Amino acid sequence: MNVVDSSGWVEFFVDGPNAHAFAAPILEVSSLLVPTICLYEVFKVVCKHRDVAAAFQAVAHMRQGIVVDVDANIALQAARFSLELQLPMADSLIYSVSSAHEATLWSQDEDFDGLPGVRYFRRKG
């Protein structure tokens, strides 16, 4: 299973320099987990930089994967990750989903660099 964090989704949708790094897990929807917080973050960013129609298109693509809601277990584990790893709230929720499902987390967010189970790509440009 794979989880792509919000930075990876945005990079893919804008065809940024690292878009190719996220293409494989994004296009393999049968093993793609999408935390609901990623839907929120990507929708917000695309609305801000493009428009609502483009944001709904992005989210429609994301929803082809398996959307994972934040339940009590995910929330509590995220709080522990936030404290132990000094992760911001959204990042800790994403990491908690990835950890709970023993998935690989794909990211270019420096907060995840060096964490177990993460495929980190340094931002280009």
**CB-based contact 1:103 (threshold 8 Å):** yes
Q: What is the CATH number of the domain that holds 88?
A: 3.40.50.1010
Instruction: Identify the pLDDT of residue 64.
Output: 98
What integer pLDDT is reported at residue 102 of this predicted model?
98
Contact predicate 25/14, CB 8 Å: no
The mean per-residue pLDDT over the stretch 28-45 comes to 98
Give residue 71's pLDDT band: very low, low, confident or very high (50, 70, 90). Answer: very high
User: What value does the mean pLDDT take over residues 11-23?
Assistant: 96
| pLDDT tens digits, 46-63 | 999 999 999 999 999 999
92 within domain boundaries: yes
**Do residues 105 and 49 make contact, with C-beta atoms less than 8 angstroms apart?**
no
Question: How many structural domains is the chain composed of?
Answer: 1
Q: 23 lies in which domain range?
A: 2-104
71 CB-contact burial (10 Å; exposed 0-12 / middle 13-18 / buried 19+)? exposed
